[in-house]
Amino acid sequence: MKNLILLLLVAPGICASAKDNFHLKGHIKNQLADSVKISYSLPAIVYKPIVYKAKLDNGDFSLAFSIPEGYTNLRISNGKEETEIYAEPDADLVLTVDAANFDSTLHYEGKGSDIANYLAKCVREKHNTRSVDNHAQLLGFKEPEEYKAALKKLIEDEDKYIDKNAKSLPETFTGYIRKANQYEVWYTMHMYPFRHESIRQKSMSVKDIPAELYDITDSIPAMFDDKLLPMGSYRAYLNNFFSSRLSGENARKKIKMETDEWQDSVFARVYREMPPLTAEFLVGHHIYNSLSHTRMGQVEHEFAAYKAHFPQSKNLAILREAIEQRRLTTPGKPEIDFDITTPDGAKMKLSALKGKVVYIDFWSRGCVPCIGEMKNAQIVRDHFKGKAVAFVYVSIDEDEAIWKGAVKAFTADGINTHLEKGREADVVKKYEAESIPCHYLIDKEGRFANVDHVISPFASDELIAQIEKLLQ
């Protein structure tokens, strides 16, 4: 199965309850790599996948490890092919597959195989297990009433598919899937105002959104439940709940808020209206993942409030360490040097660009916002052709072929490099670039530029003006 996207973030207080309570063995015919990799993530504010590998012996493999209670989303891969299952503790599965015809030959036997084979059927017939999210995202061009009707039909069709194909499966599982589908729909509804207007304007640089489009987001119910934190679609739904509500209120009142004021207002509602574990996860995740594009004063303000609300949180140590690292990238600090290897094999260091303004962009082929920025990024690069500005694109794609293909496909001309260790690379940690896209500006003296935050290429005119100032 290709193009599999997982939203696996981790929440406090959830851990494995037993040792080696999940077993998977099997045989891969026409193997694409010498090992099988299985990964999953517990719900924490830092994305830290748990990865297990088993060497193949004439195609045979065996793995045993622990997973938490409930349904855990496991990602199984061999070379470029991958699939996923929802597994429960005490599952004992036997997988067989022909990697030359991966999706159509996937089959499971053993305890837990009914659910695994249902998901394999979803992949064969619908190309992935997240058809609700994928289809919902394609409906943004529709006008509000037509959009709501299309979403309703989407859920109804998915329920019919479950009714037809999952009759023998436990109600706990089918109920879980139905609930996950509903949260997928609510999540994509949060995106509707911006997505609809960007399609209408044929631009990702949308500044003013008609207030009536927020009627869609106002109709999303507040269905918060700490027990659902392991569910990826629930976490995605949380991210924009109060943000979209506040945006709608401001649009109707024609109020413009500064970024800091807007974020404080959102967090006040989170602390007041969300249950404790949900609020602890959501705010901690935001602080950690927005460090690179939030001014230091606001970071410290948000952390102080978080500490006051959750003085015993295990996230405090993680955030303190990340904030200390963030201080090293504040305006005036010397650039953090790193090695660059371009697609043609040329090697250099970032510091070799001293004397130029350097724009650094951390990105990935699988990052939709990163790819969405590319068209506008080209506008910025074209503006500075022949000037003392260098554009450095750091891909966190571990696979060299995927990286080189993306550079070519999206015309990411500039100085390109990729990180073989992906998100685990030292440079990612030093630049606090776990959350992408992530942008930095280095001035001509080799210091982090004196700007509150680096403007996204989506606002190409503003980014151009920001760089022009650094050239003076």
Q: Give the number of other Cβ atoms within 10 Å of residue 188's Cβ.
A: 24
Q: Which amino acid is at 49?
A: P
In this structure, the answer to whether residues 448 and 433 fall within a common structural domain is: yes
In this structure, the answer to whether residues 30 and 113 fall within a common structural domain is: yes
Q: Which amino acid is at 231?
A: M
Task: Tell me, yes or no, whether 119 lies in a domain.
Answer: yes
The percent of residues above 90 in pLDDT, for the chain, comes to: 70
In this structure, the answer to whether residues 141 and 122 fall within a common structural domain is: no
Distance of CA 18 to the CA centre of its chain: 29
In this structure, the answer to whether residues 465 and 353 fall within a common structural domain is: yes
> Taking Cα atoms as reference points, which of 119, 110, 75 lies closest to residue 90?
110
User: Which range has the worst mean pLDDT, 50-64, 137-151, 421-435?
Assistant: 421-435
Evaluate if pTM is beyond 0.85: no
Query: How high does pLDDT run on average in the chain?
Result: 90
Tokens 């609510």 belong to which residue?
186
- Determine the pLDDT at residue 130: 65
Range of the domain at 413: 339-471
Model pLDDT for residues 203-257, shown as the tens digit of each residue: 777 778 999 999 999 999 999 999 999 998 999 999 999 999 999 999 999 998 9
- Determine the pLDDT at residue 441: 96
Residues 6+ apart with CB under 8 A from 460: 205, 376, 377, 379, 380
| The pairing of beta strand 347-349 with beta strand 107-111 | unpaired
Of the residues 206, 228, 256, which one is the last residue of a structural domain? 256
In this structure, the answer to whether residues 357 and 451 fall within a common structural domain is: yes
In this structure, the answer to whether residues 147 and 61 fall within a common structural domain is: no
Residues 6+ apart with CB under 8 A from 201: none
Task: Tell me, yes or no, whether 445 lies in a domain.
Answer: yes
- Determine the pLDDT at residue 371: 87
If one counts the domains in the chain, the total is 3
Q: For residue 129, what are its two tokens?
A: 């297990």
Q: What average pLDDT does range 28-51 have in this prediction? A: 91
Q: What average pLDDT does range 58-71 have in this prediction? A: 94
Tokens 């970032």 belong to which residue?
350
Is residue 295 scored above 90 in pLDDT?
Answer: no
Q: What average pLDDT does range 159-167 have in this prediction? A: 94
> Taking Cα atoms as reference points, which of 134, 108, 110 lies closest to residue 121?
108
Model pLDDT for residues 74-133, shown as the tens digit of each residue: 999 998 898 989 999 999 999 999 999 999 999 999 999 999 999 999 888 876 666 687
- Determine the pLDDT at residue 18: 44
Tell me the C-alpha distance between 273 and 259, whole Å.
21
Task: Tell me, yes or no, whether 279 lies in a domain.
Answer: no
Tokens 């995927």 belong to which residue?
402
Classify residue 127 by its DSSP letter.
Answer: S
Q: In CATH, what number is assigned to the domain containing residue 414?
A: 3.40.30.10
Is residue 190 scored above 50 in pLDDT?
Answer: yes
- Determine the pLDDT at residue 179: 95
Task: Tell me, yes or no, whether 286 lies in a domain.
Answer: no
Burial of 263-281, coded b for 16+ CB within 10 Å and e otherwise, reads bebbbeebbeebeebbbbb
In this structure, the answer to whether residues 52 and 138 fall within a common structural domain is: no
Model pLDDT for residues 318-375, shown as the tens digit of each residue: 999 999 999 999 999 999 999 999 999 999 999 999 999 999 999 998 888 888 888 8
Of the residues 127, 144, 169, which one is the last residue of a structural domain? 127
Q: Which residue has the higher pLDDT, 316 or 376?
A: 316
Task: Tell me, yes or no, whether 362 lies in a domain.
Answer: yes
In this structure, the answer to whether residues 94 and 42 fall within a common structural domain is: yes
Is residue 377 scored above 60 in pLDDT?
Answer: yes
Q: Quick one: pLDDT band at residue 273, thresholds 50, 70, 90?
A: very high
Q: Which residue has the higher pLDDT, 271 or 373?
A: 271
In this structure, the answer to whether residues 102 and 67 fall within a common structural domain is: yes
Strand partners, 63: 24
Burial of 126-157, coded b for 16+ CB within 10 Å and e otherwise, reads eebbbbbbbbbeebbebebeebbeebeebbee
Among 272-281, 340-349, 389-398, top mean pLDDT goes to 272-281
Task: Tell me, yes or no, whether 117 lies in a domain.
Answer: yes
Task: Tell me, yes or no, whether 123 lies in a domain.
Answer: yes
In this structure, the answer to whether residues 35 and 140 fall within a common structural domain is: no
Task: Tell me, yes or no, whether 137 lies in a domain.
Answer: yes
| The pairing of beta strand 415-418 with beta strand 389-395 | parallel
In this structure, the answer to whether residues 84 and 166 fall within a common structural domain is: no
Of the residues 230, 256, 282, which one is the last residue of a structural domain? 256
Strand partners, 50: 40
- Determine the pLDDT at residue 177: 93
Q: How crowded is the C-beta side of 470, counted as CA atoms within 13 Å? A: 31
In this structure, the answer to whether residues 46 and 142 fall within a common structural domain is: no
